[in-house]
Structure 1
């Protein structure tokens, strides 16, 4: 009997849904859902739970959040400590009134899906794609659709028979050659076409890399705050996410080593960190590469929006410093052309190219051959570089207009700094504004008034370090910035009354 108790399987809480937009604090949400399970009998007396660190990683929150939830349940008598450490469910009278659960919308979760996918599907994340302030949306109004349509017609009317029947999973050779040339010209990244695997975008590339590199339970460093959609792919592959703070110099490598010295993979956005917009300094980059080399760790570099630099100086990619072939570089055409194109690429170390190609063939064979051929011609004829040069100028003007408007209308509430790259800015809350409201409350107030913005806090896995708003300007017309920010100032100013 004694042995059976110690060998009892410890319970995970990975299927639990946490609503970060809710006014109910995370510890109270966890406590409420555990309390409900205990009273309903789904968590019977004697049930033992995984350690607080493991549960925190599963739920994507800090360990302190989990410990705070447990303290609530300890005080109420629902949990008890085990003699040799750990937490278990105490004996509870089931005739007690069941308190109302924290409102969680699970109507969209149906069917016998895994707990891991329940947690992913149930995760709420505001993308605000249709907003003037969407941080990831490019402006397609000036895209050369005439040239693109002509090339699509030519490709469809005169298809290559080999490509119709047996296109390589690595992608069309002509497109891989054009991508290599493009990266050399735009990013200063020297690579061979044979190092490139064409994908269906960054999400597809990250999903492929995660599934092929990671085993269930492998630890992965992710930036804190960071790109939530990248976290989804990693979680779907069974990874344990380890949030590593980002400061003014980028990813804090020393803290990552302290938190997860046996990590298998690191995912970073070094040239233009999302969402803070910080560029990782050279010292940090070399520190990261050195540690990865010495500890057999792989690095995925998401070169997020780095084509849109607003200054003359180019921020070199991490891959360009990689001498030991540790970095896997991801790029996409979604922002520089259009999101619906669904074409991107991986620049991989030579040892990975054949493996990724075989893996791609097992998952979805290859991307559209017609789209690849048209894109190769579009690049070869110079249309992409011309469009990119035009959009750099437009986006730089929009960034400046947004910053000027914020400085004019909200000088005491929001602070912004220019980013050399990208399609968004982060407006950090002043202490004065933080004393009046959270960024999630501000986002709700603004949305109710027709201004749809993202709260910075939704990009945190742990208790938010930063409070602010993520403001995209890809779709924002420069002449509209003063009017919209003036409206924002009026709404936030009125909220203090």
Structure 2
């Protein structure tokens, strides 16, 4: 039908294709589709859309996603409101429409953008400047006096060779300290020669992805999973295959069914992000057996596993690896400070050789002075003392948050049983899910100045669970109950019609 002859007819977006495997958030995909349709003259001035609820049902997304896309297009001048509150194409936007050239391809611009640029496009933010930011550590008690002293010493008395290029694998002293640290903290026995100093987990994953993968290679990723890991894999040209996670971790049998020819598996087995479950021994052995049979590399991201809030410790997947298939990632960003940008990987020596040769031609090595200071910081025992102290602090904050959720929102949220890390997941009960989606809840809380990440943001496919991801690294114990009181006032079942003015007095 020619919509230009019926500008008042309300139309749908049912024919739009949504790519749920894309790094581009859904609301940006919807906004791009509408914007390009307006610019091509497909949607003329005055044309009205169906309501946001109807469009959300058609596209299989939440209403909040549609409303967010419309808000963006309102701000850009593409859409306007009718006197009755409907959404229509603005006349100002339509006045800039140029007839499409016969030589112009009818494809969306995103199809002509490289994978790296696509992965870097605007997206839903994971780390809001929020007390509930997942994975955000508290640096207020960090021993900066000792750290600054060691930095000064490293700058004042460096050896001549240390002022020149260091080995791409990292400084030998730091590699040795990391090997000792992993043995005492994670029970992972490795030699310094199996350790490489990196610029954090993200940089290591980016480089390893380019080493291992060719464009189009399939990669198993956890569903739900760590969004930032998907950006690096997408930039390497990988085809992401989401594999569900249950209460025992990654469902290996489903990975075999969905992508039997995968080249790489990326997992967080000791503390799965975001659900927090630990992969059971049987599942770990099943994963390693498949990787060995099919010659598949496994990247183990040991996400926040240093922060155990009980005495039991789940061994690293690499400690079970007898064939050298597992590449173990770790970082000092959460133990020390995020802007340190120092991490490490552990792998077999053959892989280390290839990594070092490739790295020497790309970014040479990580900051030498930082490596020297960190090696001394670890040798003098400051890191272990700080880690032990922060374990007690984070355990208390976790308990305060769980108690507050249980006391104030027992009918709305169910807390996961994870006993490791710096965040927990509060899953929506059936009652809560019937009331709203987690993205709608996050949007309501954002309006009240409280930023909490929706669990569904971490799914590639249609979300199978709804919930909120609460970081507690920066949450003071005494703030847990007041903050949950405000959250309950905004989205709790007993207060949907209550005024939220009191919830806007402070911004978190």
Q: What is the TM-score of this pair, normalised by structure 2?
A: 0.78
Partner of 2:458: 459
Please state whether the residue corresponding to 1:479 is helix, strand or coil.
helix
Alpha-carbon distance, 1:30 to partner: 8.6
Which residue in the other structure is 1:19 paired with?
25
Deviation, structure 1 residue 115: 3.4
Q: Cα–Cα, structure 1 residues 192 and 228, in superposed 2: closer, same or farther, change >3 Å?
A: same
Q: Secondary structure at the match of 1:244?
A: strand
Please state whether the residue corresponding to 2:266 is helix, strand or coil. Answer: strand
- Does the 8 A contact of 1:14 with 1:119 survive in 2? no
Question: In the alignment, does 2:226 pair up with 1:220?
Answer: no
Instruction: Tell me the SS of whatever aligns to 2:352.
Output: helix
1:450 positional shift: 1.3
Report the 3-state secondary structure (helix = DSSP H, G, I; strand = E; otherwise coil) of the residue aligned with 2:488.
helix
**Distance (whole Å) between structure 1 residues aligned to residue 328 and residue 232 of structure 2:** 16
User: What does residue range 75-474 of structure 1 map to in structure 2 within 5 Å?
Assistant: 114-474=113-473
1:434-484 CA distance string (max 9 Å, x none): 111110110011111111110001100000011000000000001100000
Cα deviation code 1:400-424 (max 9, x no counterpart): 0000000000000001033221000
Q: Aligned to 1:305, what secondary structure does the other structure show?
A: coil
Residue aligning to 1:476: 475
Change in Cα spacing, 1:32 to 1:421, as seen in structure 2 (3 Å) is: same
Q: Secondary structure at the match of 2:140?
A: coil
Q: For residues 18 and 25 of structure 2, what CA distance do their matches in structure 1 show?
A: 18
3-state SS of paired residue (2:284): helix
Q: Distance in 1 between the 2:36 and 2:311 partners? A: 54
The answer for the alignment partner of 2:96 in structure 1 is none
Name 1:92's counterpart in structure 2: none
CA displacement 1:330-376 (0-9 Å, x = unmatched): 00000000001000011011210111111121221111110000000
3-state SS, counterpart of residue 370 of structure 1: helix
| Cα distance in 2 between the residues matched to 1:244 and 1:15 | 12
Distance 1:489 1:16, change over 3 A: closer
CA contact (8 A) 1:128 1:453 kept: no
Distance 1:65 1:216 in 2: 29
Residue correspondences, number: 423
- Specify whether residues 30 and 258 from structure 1 end up closer, same or farther in structure 2 by C-alpha distance, changes over 3 A only: farther
Determine helix, strand or coil for the equivalent of 1:345. strand
Q: Is the 8 A contact 1:303 1:329 kept in 2?
A: yes
In the aligned structure 1, how far is the partner of 2:23 from the partner of 2:435?
28
Contact 1:195-1:353 within 8 A present in 2 as well: yes
> Does the CA contact (< 8 Å) of 1:271 and 1:316 recur in 2?
yes
Q: 1:12 to 1:274 in 2, by over 3 A?
A: closer
User: Using the alignment, how far apart are the partners of 1:496 and 1:468 within structure 2?
Assistant: 21
Structure 1 residues 192, 13: CA separation in 2 closer, same or farther (over 3 Å shift)? same
**Which runs of 5 or more structure 1 residues have no equivalent in the other structure?**
1-10, 42-63, 67-97, 104-109
CA distance in 1 between partners of 2:397 and 2:262 (Å): 40
Offset of residue 36 of structure 1? 6.2
Q: Is the 8 A contact 2:276 2:416 kept in 1?
A: no
Instruction: Report the TM-score, using the length of structure 1 for normalisation.
Output: 0.80
How big is the shift at 1:117?
3.2
Is the Cα–Cα contact under 8 Å of residues 137 and 422 in structure 2 kept in the other structure?
A: yes
Could you say what secondary structure the match of 2:282 adopts?
A: helix
Structure 2 residue matching 1:220: 3-state secondary structure: strand
* Counterpart contact for 2:23–2:231, Cα < 8 Å: no
Q: Secondary structure at the match of 1:398?
A: helix
Counterpart secondary structure, 2:183: helix
Match of 2:484 in 1: 485
- CA distance 1:393–1:298, shift in 2 (3 Å): same
Instruction: Determine the structure 1 residue equivalent to 2:80.
Output: none
Aligned-partner Cα distance in 1 for 2:480–2:188: 35
Query: Contact 1:222 / 1:266 at 8 angstroms: preserved in 2?
Result: yes
Unaligned runs of 5+ in 2: 1-16, 44-57, 61-87, 94-108, 499-508
Distance in 2 between the 1:251 and 1:445 partners?
32
Measured in 2, the distance between the counterparts of 1:267 and 1:99 equals: 44
Q: 1:191 to 1:15 in 2, by over 3 A?
A: closer
Residues 163/21 of structure 1: CA separation in 2 closer, same or farther (3 Å cut): same
Q: Partners in 2 of 1:329 and 1:340 — Cα distance?
A: 21
Match of 2:164, SS? helix
1:119, distance to aligned residue in structure 2 (A): 2.5
Task: Report which stretch shifted further, 29-38 or 451-460.
Answer: 29-38
Is the 8 Å Cα contact of residues 20 and 458 (structure 1) preserved in structure 2? no
Deviations 1:189-240 (CA, angstroms, capped at 9, x unpaired): 0000001111000001101100111011100000000000000000000000
CA distance in 1, matches of 2:355, 2:182: 20
Partner Cα distance (2:126, 2:352) in 1 = 32
